[in-house]
Amino acid sequence: MAASVRVAVNTVGLKAGTYTLTSASTNIAAGCVSDATGGNTVTWEGYSSTRGDLGTAPIIKADGVITTFVLFTVTGASTAGSLIRNITLDGNSRTSSQGWSLARRTQLYKCTAQNCTNIGFTATAGGNLLVACAATNITGGAAAFVNVNAVACEAYSNTVTGFAQTTTSGQTLTACLSYNNSGSTSDGFSFSIGTCVVVGCVAYGNGRDGFRFALETALAINCIAEAQTAGGAVGFNATSSAIGSATLLRNCAAYNNTTNISTNIPASNQMSGVTGTASFFVSSTNFALSTTAGGGQLARATGYPGTFPSGTTVGYEDIGAVNSHPPPFGAPGLGGNLSR
C-alpha cells in the first residue's frame, strides 16, 4: 500500500520485523512492491529503532501460498534513480519466486535476497549499482545476481551461478565473493555478452568454473580462484581460444582448481599471476588472506597496480577482495596493503 501512494519526495521507512506478503499482485495491502517513482534520494529504508540507523534489516517474506511473483520491482527510474537500503527479501522457496528486479539508475545498499527459486537480484537496464548486498539459497534462474554492477557483494550457498552477465554489456564487479555455490553448471562468475571488468573478486568452491568468460573482451585484476574441484572445473576459463585471446588476467591468483587456468588464455595474457601451493584464505567462509607461506602470503602486496605509469607513485595492493592489515608504522614490511 505504501508503494501505491508514495511520491518522489517520500522515503518509506520499514521498521525491523517480518512483513508477510500473501498476494502476487502489486501495491495492494499484503501484496508485492512495484515502485516507479524514483526520487534521487533514499526511497525505501529499513531501520531497527530509529530511522536511518541501518540496524537490523526488516524482512519482506512470501507466505506459503503465493507463487510466480517478484517481491520488489523498481520500474521507470530513467530520470530519477532509487536508493534502497537495508531490506531483506525472502522468497520462502515458493515456486517462481524472485527477489529484486531493478530498472536503470537503481542503487541498493545492504540488501539481501534469500530463499528464491528464480534469481535473487536482476537488472532490466544498465546504470544500477549494488553495494554490500547478499544472495543466498537461490535455487533457480540464471544466477543469484544477474546483470548488475556490484561492490563488496556476496553470493553463497546457492544452487546456481553466483554472478552472471547475460544480456547487458559492461558489467563491473569489485571486491565481490562468490563461494560454495553448488550445481554442475554453477560458476562463481559467468560472463556471456559484451565486455566485463572484475577487480579483487574471489571464486571459491563452486560447482563449475571460478571465472567463466564467453564474451568479447574481459579484464580480471587481483582476482582469486580457489577450490573449484568438480570434474573439469577451471579457475579462470575462456570457452574458446578466440575469447581467450581477448581475456586479460592481471595479477590474478589460483590454487586447487581441477585446472587453474584454461589453455585458451595465452600465457602472454596472464600478467604477473600467482599460483599457490596452499590455501590463500583463513577458511572456506572467511576470505581474509592467510599468513601461510605459499598461500595467503603470496597474495599480500603483490596486486595491481604496483608502480603507476609515471613511475612516481607506488602502491602495495593485495590480491583478493580483502586487504591484509599493515604492520605497525615503522615496523619491517610484512606484506599487506600499505597504501591505504
Q: Which three cell numbers stand for residue 318?
A: 593485495
Asked if omega into 305 is within 30° of 0 (cis), the reply is yes
Residues of the chain under the 50 pLDDT cut:
330-340
Residues in Cβ contact with 68 at an 8 Å cutoff, skipping those fewer than 6 apart: 24, 95, 96, 97
pLDDT for the residue 336: 43
For residues 122 and 104, the answer to whether their CB atoms sit within 8 Å is no
- Give me the count of residues in the chain: 340
What does the alpha-carbon distance between residue 108 and residue 234 come to, in Å, rounded to a whole number?
31
Phi, psi angle pair for 252, to nearest 5°: -100, 160
Nearest to 188 by CA among 224, 215, 219: 224
Q: Which three cell numbers stand for residue 258?
A: 581441477
For residues 122 and 148, the answer to whether their CB atoms sit within 8 Å is yes
In the three-class reduction of DSSP (H, G, I as helix; E, B as strand; rest coil), residue 268 is classed as: helix
Nearest to 102 by CA among 148, 58, 142: 148
Give the distance, in angstroms, between the CA of residue 212 and the centroid of all CA atoms in the same chain: 15
136 strand-pairing partners: 114, 156
pLDDT for the residue 75: 85
User: Tell me: the pLDDT tens digits for 140-176?
Assistant: 999 999 999 999 999 999 999 999 999 887 899 999 9
pLDDT for the residue 79: 55
Give the distance, in angstroms, between the CA of residue 104 and the centroid of all CA atoms in the same chain: 18
In the three-class reduction of DSSP (H, G, I as helix; E, B as strand; rest coil), residue 241 is classed as: helix
In the three-class reduction of DSSP (H, G, I as helix; E, B as strand; rest coil), residue 4 is classed as: helix
